[in-house]
Amino acid sequence: MVEVRRREHETAGSMLRRFTRRVQQSGVLINARKLKSYKSKPTKRATRARALRRIEMTKERERLEKLGKLTGEQR
C-alpha cells in the first residue's frame, strides 16, 4: 500500500505528483494489469483434445494432398 503524507507548505499538485511517482515505483499498477487479464491454463483434458484434433487434421490434410484434392491455396 502506497501512502503519502502532505508536507509543510506543499501544494496539492506537488503531493499528487509525488504520490503518482511512488505508485509507479512500487509496481502496483503493473501487478493490477497482469491480474486483470489473467487467463487460466487449459486443463489436461483440453490440452490432449487439442493435440489429438491437430494430429487428426494433419493426417487428413496429408491424405487429401496425396489424392490431389488440395490446391496450393488450401495447403
One domain, residues 7 and 35: yes
What's the grid cell of residue 21? 511517482
| Same domain, yes or no: 35 and 53 | no
CB 6 within 8 Å of CB 14: no
Both 3 and 23 in one domain: the answer is yes
Asked if 9 and 23 sit in the same domain, the reply is yes
DSSP 24: H
- Please indicate, yes or no, whether residues 25 and 46 belong to a single structural domain of this protein: no
| Same-domain pairing of 33 and 46 | no
| Same domain, residue pair 27 and 47 | no
| Distances in whole angstroms, Cα of residue 63 to Cα of each of 9, 54, 55 | 80, 14, 12
Domain range for 28 is 1-39
Task: Give the model's pLDDT for residue 71.
Answer: 72
Query: What pLDDT is recorded for position 1?
Result: 79
Residue 74 has what pLDDT?
Answer: 61
How would residue 54 be classed by pLDDT, with cut points 50, 70 and 90?
very high
Q: What is the pLDDT of residue 45?
A: 97
What are the tens digits of pLDDT across the range 3-53? Answer: 899 999 999 999 999 999 999 999 988 888 888 888 889 999 999 999 999
Looking at the 3D structure of the chain, how many domains does it have? 2
